[in-house]
């Protein structure tokens, strides 16, 4: 069955960097677009970034543009999010999500990023 | 950016009730919309895609309708396990945007 497992979250100081990873299994990873979506504690869902099935097409929310970079390694069925210059407002649970039918069908369980001094 | 206005923000209903949640887009998005259910401490689960297509494995009491700027998620007969927060998501143009969420409480 489809599995998405995020890792790499943790506590980081403002201005710091973190790299999130998502390991995919149970489907042909290279055939599908992927996203990062986040949820601040007690808040709603916020779309962060999209990457097409290859590394050619990427899109970002304005709130992270220029600071975050999405990438993927289809040979290793992995999705990444490089996060630089982190701010307190980036504190959230980060979900890896992707699939078919327009909106993401498959979601991981999330990895928590906390930005605090 | 396309704004998704979801209403109501919360509701309380009894088991067996018919429940309707609405999302309004600030501009036309064809049928490029999905509906999600999220229970506390869990990842969102897709219920509906392409505005009205039922995700495999989702009970048939859930249905979606609409096109353009007005969309509706309907739960035909509310069950105790439907206590959750529901979100719409548009993927017509970037940035993708979610509605604010509707918390459904069981009376």
Instruction: Inform me whether the C-beta atom of residue B19 falls under 8 Å from chain A C-beta atoms.
Output: no
Per-residue model confidence (pLDDT) at position A30:
95
Using DSSP, state whether A115 is helix, strand or coil: strand
What DSSP string runs through B8-55?
A: -SEEEE-TT--EEEEEEESS--TT-EEEEEE-TTS--EEEEETTTEEP
Q: How far apart are CA A45 and CA A34, in angstroms?
A: 16
Q: How far apart are CA B93 and CA A25, in angstroms?
A: 28
Residues of chain A positioned with their CB less than 8 A from the CB of B91: 102-103
Given a cut of 70, the residues of chain B with pLDDT beneath it are none
Task: Answer whether A105 sits within 8 Å of B43, measured CB to CB.
Answer: no
Is the CB of residue B81 less than 8 Å from the CB of residue B28? no
Q: Give the closest of B1, B45, B98 to A44, CB-based.
A: B98
Task: Answer whether A47 sits within 8 Å of B89, measured CB to CB.
Answer: yes
Per-residue model confidence (pLDDT) at position B25:
98
Residues of chain A positioned with their CB less than 8 A from the CB of B23: none
Given a cut of 50, the residues of chain A with pLDDT beneath it are none
- C-alpha torsion B50→A51→A46→B103, nearest 10: 30
- What is the per-residue pLDDT across B19-35, written as a single tens digit (0 to 9) for each? 999 999 999 999 999 99
């Amino acid at each position: 069955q489809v599995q998405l497992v995020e890792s790499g979250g943790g506590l980081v100081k403002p201005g710091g960097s973190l790299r999130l990873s998502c390991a995919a299994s149970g489907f042909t990873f290279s055939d599908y677009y992927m996203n990062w979506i986040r949820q601040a504690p007690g808040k709603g869902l916020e779309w962060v970034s999209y990457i097409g099935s290859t590394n050619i097409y990427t899109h970002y929310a304005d709130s992270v543009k220029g600071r975050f970079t999405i990438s993927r390694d289809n040979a290793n069925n992995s999705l990444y999010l490089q996060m630089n210059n982190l701010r307190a407002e980036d504190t959230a649970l980060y979900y890896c999500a992707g699939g078919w039918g327009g909106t993401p069908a498959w979601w991981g369980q999330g990895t928590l990023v906390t930005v605090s001094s | 950016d396309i704004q998704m206005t979801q209403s109501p923000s919360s509701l309380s209903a009894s088991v067996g009730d018919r429940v309707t949640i609405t999302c309004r887009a600030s501009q036309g998005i064809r049928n490029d919309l999905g509906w999600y259910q999220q229970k506390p401490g869990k990842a969102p689960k897709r219920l509906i895609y392409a505005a009205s297509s039922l995700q495999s494995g989702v009970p048939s009491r859930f249905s979606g309708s609409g096109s353009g700027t007005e969309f509706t998620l309907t739960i035909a007969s509310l069950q105790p396990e439907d206590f959750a927060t529901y979100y719409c998501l548009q993927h017509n143009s970037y940035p993708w945007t979610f509605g604010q969420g509707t918390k459904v409480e069981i009376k």
